[in-house]
A and B are shown apart, each in its own frame.
Chain A
């Protein structure tokens, strides 16, 4: 049962433009959300997170937005750079019930020059 869904397996964006990666979840008890970036043959790297008490968190070029009523979060990368090309995973956790991070299947982002 996939509780975290990334419905776009791939996304292509031109360098300098905004990349928007989307994530939907089904479990309303999730209270902590994270984005990871993964290059081929490497482990995921933590990017940014957001608690369910917030609706936005910003870190440099990366901003995560959380819409709890829609059970939707998104990662915005502005401006996009070729080095941002990677697979992005959305993850969520229901902290009181345990420590498992529920991951989506990932979205492959390609930033073209």
Chain B
């Protein structure tokens, strides 16, 4: 069966520090991968999606970037965090782009 791992579960970072969140999927090959964010009081917003290695699409302009160095690894990064980057970040995968997405456990990021 397929599983998705996302870490860390919680993270507190100072403003201006870098960020790296990692997500890996097991039990499948060539998954479509997504990064979502849920800011306080808001729904889930798609940040990035990827259909293959080094193929990243950004849905919204922001202070973050994503990379996919391996087929089942998806990384969310920032060079300098802002207070507004605080939120709940979720990695997800789907077998194709036209199906439901399956989510990881999420990372609660607090920028202080």
Give A contacts to B, CB under 8 Å. 2, 4, 32, 34, 36, 41-46, 49, 89, 91, 95, 98-106
Nearest first, the 4 closest Cβ-Cβ pairs linking A and B are A43-B103, A103-B43, A103-B44, A100-B46
Assess the A42–B105 pair: CB atoms within 8 A: yes
Please name all residues of chain A whose beta carbon is closer than 8 Å to the beta carbon of B44 when the two chains form the complex.
44, 89, 91, 101, 103
Please report which residues of chain B, range 82-112, place their CB below 8 angstroms from some CB of chain A when the two chains form the complex: 90-92, 97-98, 100-106, 108
Q: What's the Cα separation between A41 and B10 when bound, in Å?
A: 9
- Across the interface, do B6 and A99 meet the contact criterion of CB distance under 8 Å? no
Q: Is B32 an interface residue (CB 8 A)?
A: yes
Closest to A99 in B: B97
Which chain B residues have a beta carbon within 8 Å of chain A's beta carbons? 6, 9, 32, 34, 36, 41-46, 49, 59, 90-92, 97-98, 100-106, 108
Give the chain B neighbours of A34 by CB distance below 8 A. Answer: 100
Residues of B within 8 A of A44 (CB): 44, 90, 103
Contacts of B32 in A (CB 8 A): 99
Q: A89-B44, A103-B43 are in contact. Are A95 and B90 (CB under 8 A)?
A: no
Chain B nearest CB: distance from A1 CB in Å? 12
B69 to chain A, nearest CB (A): 21
A100 proximity list for chain B (CB < 8 A)? 46, 49, 59
Query: Do the beta carbons of A103 and B49 come within 8 Å of each other?
Result: no
Q: Contacts A99-B32, A99-B49 known; A106 to B106 CB distance under 8 Å?
A: no
Q: A103-B44, A104-B43 are in contact. Are A46 and B105 (CB under 8 A)?
A: no
Question: Which one of A41, A42, A45, A106 contacts B43 once the chains associate, using CB atoms below 8 Å?
Answer: A106
Bound-state Cα–Cα, A57 to B84, Å: 39
Q: Among B34, B46, B59, find the residue whose CB has the most chain A CB atoms closer than 10 A.
A: B46
Residue of A nearest to B47 (CB): A100
